[in-house]
Amino acid sequence: MDWIYDELYDDQPDIPFDTPPSNHLILRVDLNKKWRFNIGDNPKWATPTYADDNWESIQVPSRWENQGFNGYDGIAWYRTSFDGRLLDPKQSHYLLLGQIDDADECFFNGRMIGQNGRFAPRFRTAYTTDRRYQIPHESINFEGQNTIAVRVYDDVLDGGIVGGKIGIYADFDSDHLIQDLSGQWKFTKWDKRNAEDPNYDASGWDDIWVPSFWDNQGYRSYDGVAWYRTTFRLSFTPSSDKTYYLLLGMIDDYDITYFNGQRIGTTADGKGFGDSQSYAQIRLYKIPQALLHSSKPNTIAIRVKDLGHYGGIYKGPIGIIEE
């Protein structure tokens, strides 16, 4: 499993908000082109079947002020589509949207797959953040058209999808995962008693994107304990002659990880903020065969303690591997 160390311990500097190292991704669909564009706001504009023929055509990336919308501040939508036959179903795929001024919500075939910043009235800009959103495998139509819709809020000055190499990228290391678990998880701040229990009701928790620092998902400057949970069915049939591991990439800072209610691993060097190196440790925990449920859902619960600065499950890959 040397590939894990090659991927996670690369020569790239630590970059906030999980901007991906380019040597792990390959461009599959170039989206630096004309997109459909409309000012205003309507939730129906996220749906793939919405007819956007009467919308304006606008270059991406570029400030919308430079394309006929000078002085406009507020909400606007972008839409485009591409052929899913350009993608390999065996790989994980990411939508890279570069820099967006100021905040955004991104939809893929009608499903929200990521967001950065915060819209008014509780506005918070994320214009310096490179947008990287993993596309859930089950949301991709590998046999035909796929629709991307991006809702953007600009507070003042320039607005829109303003920079970067926009496109659909494949992670050529992702085929090592037999099940990819990155995407939307449940999340809550503070410590929660019995949150590791598979029967615990986390329906009232917030949604969060994994992997990515929690600081840019509405929890900026939060330091302390938080919980992540996800429930899923196995996409493979466990074999008695295989050993299975849960790969959680890197977590800032400490974690205790549970699989179907049983603790399977923890990483914590016991040092304080500024001295601890736990944030740079790969999380790779063996899953006992008896814990893998083929006939019913499986639940992962992770208690994370952030000592300071950025926090959360911030770097992938995230999923199950076999040996």
| Letter string b/e over residues 249-275, b meaning 16 or more CB atoms within 10 A of that residue's CB | bbbbbbbbbbbbeeebbebeeeeeeee
pLDDT at residue number 218 = 80
Q: 129, 114 in Cβ contact below 8 A?
A: no
Q: Which domains does the chain have, with CATH numbers?
A: 21-174 (2.60.120.260), 177-322 (2.60.120.260)
pLDDT-derived band at 252, boundaries 50, 70, 90: very high
| pLDDT value of residue 223 | 96
167 C-beta neighbours (distance < 10 Å), count: 19
- Please determine, for residue 15, whether its predicted confidence score (pLDDT) is greater than 60: no
The mean pLDDT value of the chain amounts to 90
Q: Using one digit for the tens of pLDDT, what is the confidence trace for 80-110?
A: 999 999 999 888 899 999 999 999 999 999 9
Enumerate the β-bridge partners of residue 299: 231
